[in-house]
Amino acid sequence: MKKENTLYIVIPCYNEEEVLHETTKRLKEKLNKLIKDKVISKNSRVMYVNDGSKDKTWDLIKEIDESEELFTGITLSRNRGHQNALVAGLLTAKEYADVVISMDADLQDDINAIDEMLEKYYAGFDIVYGVRSSRKKDTFFKKVTAEGFYKFMSLMGVDIVFNHADYRLTSKRVLCEFEGYKEVNLFLRGIFPLIGFKSDVVYYERAERFAGESKYPLKKMLSFAWDGISSFSVKPLRMICVLGFIILFFSFIIMLYSLIQKFTGNTVDGWAFITISIWFIGGLQMISIGIIGEYIGKIYNETKARPRFIISENLNEKKK
């Protein structure tokens, strides 16, 4: 087995004072065991990212950083939301770590999956996605809305791993490539599949939040879903074009129908003309908007300036 790598666990925290102690306790046990078993190096850490919390979260993190060798933290100048807090943590941690795992502060994601994630990492996988095997512990409402979210996203052309949130392992080189994605509207679970490299999944049971409340009410979830679609897919724009063609097609049927009505004398004067015009012009307008949409879609993709490719191996380098 190769030399133990340094693992950083990145945890965004927003008003999490109720859970931090328990989370710290459980993760400390886990890390100590992994270090003892020589799976990870002694320099491994848990890095809390305080996302502009309004409660005592940051004071607690400072205390924990003082008293616990394996724990440290950073804080953002204000609340920037889960995704941005995660990015801040991932990009900071990659400076110190060989491999980083991100998870939530409430430990709803089973920390025992870490072992399997690391196994896969040592077996050569650069990204390991944590996937919920079931949602037995979620409320019916959360289950339906959350699973609907994944289905709707893929319908809208966003490539994501089903039932995978932000519990994931990424190697240092993935994070280095990730830095090249400069977009401000971030939807991490869509970006990592884009980066590529060898990836695998690990299944785990999602538990209940052991304290505190969800920071993702339905409103935030909906805006998150829309963010994901609008920062990843031009499909909604393309749908305008398709709709335009459908309406135009109908306008021909309506034209036939109107003319038949007119010539069988079932109409008042001018009815056929107006009906045909409305449908035909409606369809034309829709198609025109769709065409403009296609161009906007192109501009949108250009402004993102995403890397065009990532080379994962260069055999010539190895010859030197």
Note whether 81 binds ligand UDP by CB under 6 A: yes
Note whether 89 binds ligand UDP by CB under 6 A: no
Note whether 168 binds ligand UDP by CB under 6 A: no
Quote the Cα angle for 143-146-148, to 5°.
100
| Closest among 69, 107, 105 to 85, alpha carbons compared | 105
Residue 131 contacts residue 41 (beta carbons within 8 Å): no
Residue 137 contacts residue 207 (beta carbons within 8 Å): yes
Cβ nearer to Mg ion, comparing 159 with 213: 213
Note whether 6 binds ligand UDP by CB under 6 A: no
Residue 71 contacts residue 46 (beta carbons within 8 Å): yes
CB of 215 to Mg ion, least distance (A): 7
Select from ligand UDP, Mg ion, none the partner in contact with residue 51, using the beta carbon and a kind-dependent cut-off of 5 to 8 Å: ligand UDP
* Interatomic CA distance for residues 82 and 67, integer angstroms: 26
3-state secondary structure of 239: helix
52 torsion bin: left (phi>0), alpha (psi -120 to 50), beta (else): left
Cβ nearer to ligand UDP, comparing 98 with 104: 104
- Stretch binding ligand UDP (CB under 6 A), from 65-73, 98-106, 125-133, 267-275: 98-106
Note whether 223 binds ligand UDP by CB under 6 A: no
* Interatomic CA distance for residues 159 and 308, integer angstroms: 17
Cβ nearer to ligand UDP, comparing 81 with 228: 81
CB of 165 to Mg ion, least distance (A): 9
Residue 100 contacts residue 168 (beta carbons within 8 Å): no
* The only residue of 112, 133, 154, 214 in contact with ligand UDP, by rule CB under 6 A: 214
3-state secondary structure of 168: strand
Note whether 85 binds ligand UDP by CB under 6 A: yes
Task: Give contact residues for ligand UDP (rule: CB under 6 A).
Answer: 12-14, 16, 51, 79, 81-82, 85, 104-106, 108, 214-216
